[in-house]
Amino acid sequence: MIVLDRVRALSTKQKVIAGVTAAVVVAAGVGIGIASTRDMSARPVAASASPTPTPTPTSSAAPTPKPTPKPKPRPVRPTNPFTGLGSPPAGAVIAVKIDDTFNGRPQLGIDQADIVYVEQVEAGLTRLLAIFATKHPVVEPVRSVRASDPELLTQFGSIVVAASGGAGDSLQAVSHSIIHGVYNGGPGFARDFGRPIPYNLTLNTSVLAGAFRTAGKAKSIGFTWSATVPSGASTRSGRSFRTTIGGANTVLVGFDYDPASKRYVRVIDGARQTAADGATISTPNVIIQYCDVRVNPGDVDVVGNVSKYTHSVGHGPVAVFRDGREIVGTWSRPTSASGTTLRTAQGKPIALKPGGAWILLVAKGTPLSAN
């Protein structure tokens, strides 16, 4: 009532001013309300955060571990099959028939052979068949081939055999084999005029090997090699031995072990043998191979002596000397194309000491004294 009375007391002019003022205040309030409403609608509404769902555990099998790869074996580096030392020689293999009589000694180049066979010929005499592959020296004196040589050499492959010639059925036996026969007048042959005939025929094996580049190369002939004596092998003292090769009429041959060089030195009638250049004739291995030996009526010399034929195919007893020890066993060679295997009495391989070998082809039943 008081307010109403006061309004009534105002003049007309004052009522107009008051009305205008109230209208302005009301309009301002309305604007503020609208502005406030627009600001609220423009603001983004924050989404309410929802909790992260916990993953449901699932059962899965444990991964299978990968197997550890086996280490690859180291490649075996090939070695010289004739010596067990170094890489296989690349040139042609040359076999040479060399005199082994008093008049033919000392031989030239025999100490450089990889393998040397000692075999019977006729009249109680012996002859050497030397295998050259690692080295190709000049050799002397070159003598004639025998009919049994192709059988012995076929295990080496299509190699070259050099000789002064051959009598009887010897040359025919060579020509019917896989061996290449080369004789006096062929590449590398010459005469040494410091010696008498027939002990002065020389051969440069390097020249001959160069002329037969496609001939057989070194390959395994059945021998195995080891720096140590085979484990489990039954051995006995073998520092010295003596035997005969050509029968009752031949000289006593043997080898003595030299501890300093760890090699066997060749001895004939008690004398240590040397080559023509003064080098000692020695080897780390000596093999006594007992063979069947028969007479060969197809080869008779000018005075009527019948040559001997040594059968190197077959089997029989063997005695191997290495490192001052003797190992007794057997040898076996089923065919001419196969190599010669050496086995202990227990059937295990007899490994040779690296460095080459001499093989004495003796008749079965020949006495052997060793100590």
Q: Are 156 and 338 in contact (CB under 8 A)?
A: no
Q: 37 pLDDT exceeds 60?
A: no
Query: What's the angle, vertex CA 252, arms to CA 248 and CA 253, rounded to 5?
Result: 130
Give mean pLDDT, residues 67-85. 86
Average pLDDT, the chain: 86
pLDDT in tens, 165-201: 999 999 999 999 999 999 999 999 999 999 999 999 9
- Position 338 pLDDT exceeds 80: yes
d(CA 355, CA 192): 30
User: Taking 70 as the threshold, does the pLDDT of residue 23 lie above it?
Assistant: no
Q: Which residue in this structure is represented by tokens 């190992």?
A: 327
Give 321's contacts (C-beta < 8 A, 6+ positions apart). Answer: 238, 241, 255, 257, 264, 285, 286, 287, 288, 327, 370
pLDDT (0 to 100) of residue 53: 56
pLDDT given for residue 247 in this prediction: 65
Calpha distance 276→45 (Å, rounded): 116
- Which pLDDT score, from 0 to 100, does residue 62 have? 67
Residue 33: which pLDDT band, with cuts at 50, 70 and 90?
very low
For a pLDDT cut of 70, what percent of the chain falls above it? 82
**Rounded distance, CA 348 to CA 223, Å?**
13
pLDDT tens figures, 209-253: 999 999 999 999 999 999 999 888 889 999 999 999 876 567 788
Is pLDDT larger for residue 298 or for residue 75? 298
Give mean pLDDT, residues 28-50. Answer: 39
Q: Which residue has the higher pLDDT, 70 or 221?
A: 221
Give residue 54's pLDDT.
57
Using alpha carbons, select from 239, 232, 234, 288 the residue that is nearest to residue 259. 239
Q: What is the per-residue DSSP string for 264-311?
A: EEEEETTEEPB-TTS-B-EESEEEEEEEEEEEEEEEE-TTSPEEEEEE
Residue 9 has pLDDT above 90, yes or no: no
Q: Is the pLDDT of residue 131 over 70?
A: yes
Distance separating alpha carbons of residues 251 and 73, to the nearest angstrom: 51
17-26, 221-230, 236-245, 275-284 — which is least confidently predicted? 17-26
